[in-house]
Amino acid sequence: MKFDFEQRLNWYKSNANVCLDKPIQFKRGSKMSPSKPISHVTKRNETKPLRRSHQLPPISAMAGEGSGAGAEMDALIRRLRLHQAGPSPYDPAPAASPAAGGGGELFRPRRAAVLVCLFRGAAGELRVILTKRSSTLSTHSGEVSLPGGKAEEGDADDAATALRESKEEIGLDPSLVTVVASLEHFLSKHLLVVVPVIGILSDIQAFIPVLNVAEVDEIFDVPLEMFLKDENRTSEEREKMGQTFTVHYFTYVKEDHKYLIWGLTARILIHAASVVYERSPDFPERRAHFNLPKYTKDCSSMLAGLAKH
């Protein structure tokens, strides 16, 4: 019997007596929302350990893996470990000397990291774990995103940030993830430098999601390769601060649930899929390359420019 990620989660709920929050009720008839309640939010620290009689099938049965598929995953890990991201265009400017007659306090952008967590699905395909952000958050509420967040003092590197945030948001134990690569840096509209980190989750059966409901409403997974295909995708051209770029919208439907993946998350996943599959997407991609302001006093005008639709 083969399980995908969501089937495993449903199986666990029905067999391990997981305590659930009340269902999240979406407004019926909403264009992008499911027409039925979703009830797979798990309260933090309320999962119960699996009894031996409730052990899930081995990973080989779940992912359709044989020795060949395992060897392919090992080869992928080795190749991705050799990946070298280009130099970041968003590194802070060097400190100006007093003699240089600087224009004020230098801008030091905040840094964040997200986890592109990959595992093998029921058909042997690579899938990536995504979340739907809580509707109560002040920014990007209700949107699809990758697990991750801002760097904190004490994080050793970007991988540590991504793993810590994933643990806090969805209960993913860092010991289950093999970090294999850091990718090109991205700039959010809030002037946050975002570093995608690719991690491999080899033992999917060991991951039992525990959602932090203050931050995450749902967890689901999609095929990574969908972000290279010109299917279930629309796009629009936008212009900001003198640059024209493409915004991609990917629609993913799972039973009666419908998800829209767009913006920074879509851009990161297009790039991650291109690196993993070693090919360009089947559609044109026009990206903007904004330069960070040198001085803090210039941030307000840039934030206003990026916020315009």
pLDDT (tens digit per residue) in 197-252 = 999 998 999 999 999 999 999 999 999 999 999 999 999 999 877 788 999 999 99
Q: Does any domain span residue 99?
A: no
Q: Does any domain span residue 102?
A: no
Query: What are the residues facing 115 on neighbouring strands?
Result: 197
Largest Cα span, the chain: 73
Q: Does any domain span residue 303?
A: yes
Residue 292: pLDDT band (50, 70, 90) is confident
Q: Does any domain span residue 165?
A: yes
**Comparison of pLDDT for 11 and 93, the residue scoring more:** 93
Instruction: Write the CATH number for 203.
Output: 3.90.79.10
Q: Does any domain span residue 277?
A: yes
Total structural domains within the chain = 1
Model pTM greater than 0.85?
no
Q: Does any domain span residue 90?
A: no
Q: Does any domain span residue 88?
A: no
Q: Does any domain span residue 89?
A: no
Q: Residue 117's domain spans which residues?
A: 5-83+108-307
| Beta strand segments in the chain, E | 111-120, 126-133, 144-145, 148-150, 177-182, 186-187, 193-201, 216-223, 233-240, 243-254, 257-262
Average pLDDT over residues 286-301: 79
**Comparison of pLDDT for 213 and 67, the residue scoring more:** 213
